[in-house]
Chain A
Amino acid sequence: MELTTSTQPSRKENLLSGFRPASQNGFGTTSAARLQAIAALDSLDLPTRKTESWKYTDLRTLSSRTYQQSVATFKGEIAPFLIPGLDAHLLVFVNGCFDQKLSASALADAGIQVQPVSTLKGADYEAFEALLGTAAKPNADIFTAINNAYAREGVFIRVAANHEQERPIYLLHLNDANQTTAFQQRNIIQLEAGASVKLIEAFHSLDQAYTLRNEVTEIHVGNGANLEFVKIQSESDQATIIDSTEIHQAAHSKTNVFTYTFSGEIVRNNVYVRLNEEHCEAHLFAAYMLNGTQIQDHHTEMHHIAPNCFSNELYKGIVDDESTGVFNGQIHVYPDAQKTNAFQSSRGILLSESGNIFTKPQLEIYADDVKCSHGAATGHLDEDAMFYLRARGIREKDARLMLMHAFALETAETLSLDAVKAYIGHRVDTRY
């Protein structure tokens, strides 16, 4: 399919050129979800600030750049990007492309299969394509549609029924682009009934080129299955990140999603959860830190579709300089979802006078027997606590750091991987 081009490429065309492959090479063109997404791209357009859900995030810089397609060119060392003390199955992606040499060999046994999408063949490939677009609606928005249409890389994880994967899986994404580059990933994770897995995904930049990452992760958590998912975003101030995680949960399943965002020019995170069956539990924790003119726009949607489910969200931001943090949290309680417990809390610390945190809770409740709450509070560092610490000899800088560390790490209390928790703490400490 050809899009109309004029001598002045449109904003949208500019964006698409970074992602659309020169030829489809047969990859996915036959999949209904991909075709649906490609068709949807005709009518979808880039959001502007008039688009309500993109009100605070100005994408004009993004569409003024001409993004090249990604090439894997890694010259550096991965050691600085490993998590000390974490024994994990490692997969490394460079500029969005799987790097076989830097990664552990494919994990494929009776209990778990972890495969880079670009290596999928035969039945595995078909299984991936069959799941594509089942959690993330292909035409939901332009970024999801682009991803659905053209993403050729990512990870495909399948955990067999009742398999408890003890050793965590670490997906390490490194940007090492020397020119303005776009890349995208599509991860699909499927946990069968009673399965459990711990997944850490980290993103780092080695170079200062402008990058655009468009990532979609679809997760199906089966009956009684248990997922722990930690996302660590640490890309450069030239990086724009659009990251969507869509989770579907079956009965008695449990998910814990932790998001830590340390940097990035523009970061848009969507975490959407559908509690499709009874007795699900979902916990979303996030701590985000910004300075300069960075923008982070965190959106969550918690869909309580079935009765007797529990959800809890805690988002905490530390905003400095002229940066802008956004938390937009939607809770939908469907008419059948009686006995729902849904909680949401957004808290922020402003370190400067000109930084901003915008919080927008949106609760739509169509059942009557529910417990829902949301709260939002933004303020400066607690002056009384600062004085107390300083009165005990602790220097001002260290006292501030102690309070910020405590503030951010409250989100990691239930993180089960001690090495990851310690790493997050260290990253917070060295951020300031």
Chain B
Amino acid sequence: MLTISNLRASIEGKEILKGLDLHIGPGEVHAIMGPNGSGKSTLASVLAGKEEYEVTGGEVLFHGKDLLELGPDERAGEGLFLAFQYPVEIPGVSMVNFLRASVGAVREYRGQEPLSAGDFLKLMNEKKKIVEMDANLTKRAVNEGFSGGEKKRNEVFQMAMLEPTLSILDETDSGLDIDALKVVAGAVNKLRGPERSFLVITHYQRLLDYIVPDFVHVLYQGRIVKSGGKELALELEGKGYDWIKEETPAV
């Protein structure tokens, strides 16, 4: 589904990703862990198409297509979804209008018929339940005045609406209390399926108690330096990242 080969990316002339390789198959859940500054969020941003990052080398194939050639909106159409670490507040754009535009654009991209107004509302109400989202939130402007937890729920809600084949969760656990974390993780688990893959980026092992990964990777200095099963996350939780740093030769 997703194959990243020797990916290099920099921002403002500073190289952050230094030859990253990763393969994600259909239905798989991969977790990426790593110390601060290792390039986790850069990877998420580069995959989603944020323009500040300059890709200086390597290749990303998504469903066989050259992902890096596509604009952010086309990537969403192809089935890629980024749950933002810091969801953006957009005053004056109501959640309903935003979602209608988003779902409409993605369906159009995928060659699907537009949803009727009634079907759209039905879909929205159905998905709202998955994330146990306050019904009133969709009447407000996008993320405006939402609490940290509400913003993260809103990300997962949008994920449910857009039915992506690859969801990237960028530190979705940060700023969440344990109850909110359980709800968010539960929603993600409900969305899991044989064709739905996840890339879970997190600093802490805690989230992986609830979203159990098939593979865990350690990102350090812009490269995947260690991969393993879910037990690797527990090992990292116990031992910290220092042993990884010691094992990794300087680049």
Write the residues of chain A forming the contact surface with B, with a CB cutoff of 8 angstroms: 382, 384-385, 387-396, 398-399, 402-403, 405-407, 409-410
Which of B84, B97, B105 is in CB contact (< 8 Å) with A395? Answer: B105
Which of A398, A409, A410 is in CB contact (< 8 Å) with B101? Answer: A398
Which residues of chain A are near B156, meaning CB under 8 Å?
none
Which residues of chain A are near B90, meaning CB under 8 Å?
382, 385, 388-389, 402-403, 406
Nearest-CB distance from B57 to chain A (Å)? Answer: 23
What are some 6 contacts across the A-B interface (CB < 8 A)? A387-B49, A387-B72, A391-B82, A396-B73, A398-B101, A406-B92
Contact digits for B71-106, partner A, Cβ 8 Å, 1 yes 0 no: 111011100011010011011110001100111011
- Give the 6 A-B CB pairs with smallest separation, nearest first: A406-B92, A393-B76, A393-B106, A390-B72, A392-B102, A388-B88
Summarize A's interface: helix, strand, loop or mixed. helix
Cα distance A393–B50 in the bound complex, in angstroms: 13
Cα distance A395–B109 in the bound complex, in angstroms: 10
B197 at the interface (CB under 8 A from A): no
Given known contacts A394-B73, A395-B73, A395-B105, is B91 in contact with A389 (CB within 8 Å)? no
Which of B87, B101, B103, B141 is in CB contact (< 8 Å) with A388? Answer: B87
Which residues of chain B are near A396, meaning CB under 8 Å?
71, 73
Cα distance A87–B129 in the bound complex, in angstroms: 41
B202 at the interface (CB under 8 A from A): no
Contact digits for B129-159, partner A, Cβ 8 Å, 1 yes 0 no: 0000000000001100000000000000010
Which of B72, B81, B98 counts the most chain A CB atoms within 10 A? B72
Which residues of chain B are near A406, meaning CB under 8 Å?
90-93, 141
Given known contacts A396-B71, A398-B105, A402-B101, is B48 in contact with A391 (CB within 8 Å)? yes
B17 at the interface (CB under 8 A from A): no
Which residues of chain A are near B109, meaning CB under 8 Å?
393
Which residues of chain B are near A405, meaning CB under 8 Å?
92-93
Cα distance A389–B105 in the bound complex, in angstroms: 11
* Number of B positions contacting A (CB below 8 A): 31
Nearest-CB distance from B78 to chain A (Å)? Answer: 10
A389, B92: Cβ atoms closer than 8 Å:
no
Q: Which residue of chain A lies nearest to B143 when distances are taken between CB atoms in the complex?
A: A388
B162 at the interface (CB under 8 A from A): yes
B51 at the interface (CB under 8 A from A): yes
Q: Which residue of chain B lies nearest to A409 when distances are taken between CB atoms in the complex?
A: B92
Nearest-CB distance from B67 to chain A (Å)? Answer: 13
Cα distance A15–B187 in the bound complex, in angstroms: 70
Beyond A390-B71, A394-B105, 14 additional pairs, beta carbon < 8 A: A387-B88, A388-B90, A389-B90, A390-B72, A391-B49, A391-B72, A391-B76, A392-B76, A392-B102, A394-B73, A394-B102, A396-B71, A407-B92, A410-B91
Cα distance A410–B72 in the bound complex, in angstroms: 27
Nearest-CB distance from A118 to chain B (Å)? Answer: 42
Nearest-CB distance from B91 to chain A (Å)? Answer: 7
Cα distance A409–B94 in the bound complex, in angstroms: 12
Which of B73, B87, B88, B92 is in CB contact (< 8 Å) with A393? Answer: B73
Nearest-CB distance from A345 to chain B (Å)? Answer: 13
A393, B51: Cβ atoms closer than 8 Å:
no
Given known contacts A387-B51, A398-B105, is B91 in contact with A392 (CB within 8 Å)? no
Cα distance A379–B19 in the bound complex, in angstroms: 36
Which of A384, A395, A398, A407 is in CB contact (< 8 Å) with B88? Answer: A384
Q: Which residue of chain A lies nearest to B110 when distances are taken between CB atoms in the complex?
A: A393
Which of B71, B77, B88, B162 counts the most chain A CB atoms within 10 A? B88
Cα distance A396–B49 in the bound complex, in angstroms: 13
Which of A382, A388, A393, A407 is in CB contact (< 8 Å) with B77? Answer: A393
Q: Which residue of chain A lies nearest to B106 when distances are taken between CB atoms in the complex?
A: A393
Which residues of chain A are near B91, meaning CB under 8 Å?
406, 410
Cα distance A395–B105 in the bound complex, in angstroms: 7
Q: Which residue of chain B lies nearest to A388 when distances are taken between CB atoms in the complex?
A: B88
Cα distance A385–B76 in the bound complex, in angstroms: 16
Which residues of chain B are near A387, meaning CB under 8 Å?
48-51, 72, 88
Nearest-CB distance from B160 to chain A (Å)? Answer: 13
A402, B93: Cβ atoms closer than 8 Å:
yes
Cα distance A21–B46 in the bound complex, in angstroms: 69
Which of A392, A407, A409 is in CB contact (< 8 Å) with B162? Answer: A392
Q: Which residue of chain A lies nearest to B141 when distances are taken between CB atoms in the complex?
A: A406
Cα distance A395–B77 in the bound complex, in angstroms: 10
Cα distance A384–B71 in the bound complex, in angstroms: 15
Cα distance A396–B75 in the bound complex, in angstroms: 13
Given known contacts A387-B50, A387-B51, A388-B87, is B105 in contact with A393 (CB within 8 Å)? yes
Given known contacts A385-B88, A391-B49, is B98 in contact with A402 (CB within 8 Å)? yes
Nearest-CB distance from B169 to chain A (Å)? Answer: 13
Q: Which residue of chain A lies nearest to B91 when distances are taken between CB atoms in the complex?
A: A406
Q: Which residue of chain B lies nearest to A398 when distances are taken between CB atoms in the complex?
A: B101
Which of B73, B91, B97, B98 counts the most chain A CB atoms within 10 A? B73
Which residues of chain B are near A398, meaning CB under 8 Å?
101, 105
Cα distance A382–B93 in the bound complex, in angstroms: 13
Which residues of chain A are near B82, meaning CB under 8 Å?
391
Interface residues in B23-69 by Cβ distance below 8 A to A read 48-51
Cα distance A355–B92 in the bound complex, in angstroms: 24
B98, A389: Cβ atoms closer than 8 Å:
yes
Cα distance A406–B91 in the bound complex, in angstroms: 7
Which residues of chain B are near A393, meaning CB under 8 Å?
73, 76-77, 102-103, 105-106, 109, 162
Which residues of chain A are near B75, meaning CB under 8 Å?
391
Which of A396, A399, A407 counts the most chain B CB atoms within 10 A? A399
Cα distance A394–B142 in the bound complex, in angstroms: 14
Which residues of chain A are near B84, meaning CB under 8 Å?
388, 391
Which residues of chain B are near A385, meaning CB under 8 Å?
88, 90
Cα distance A399–B72 in the bound complex, in angstroms: 12
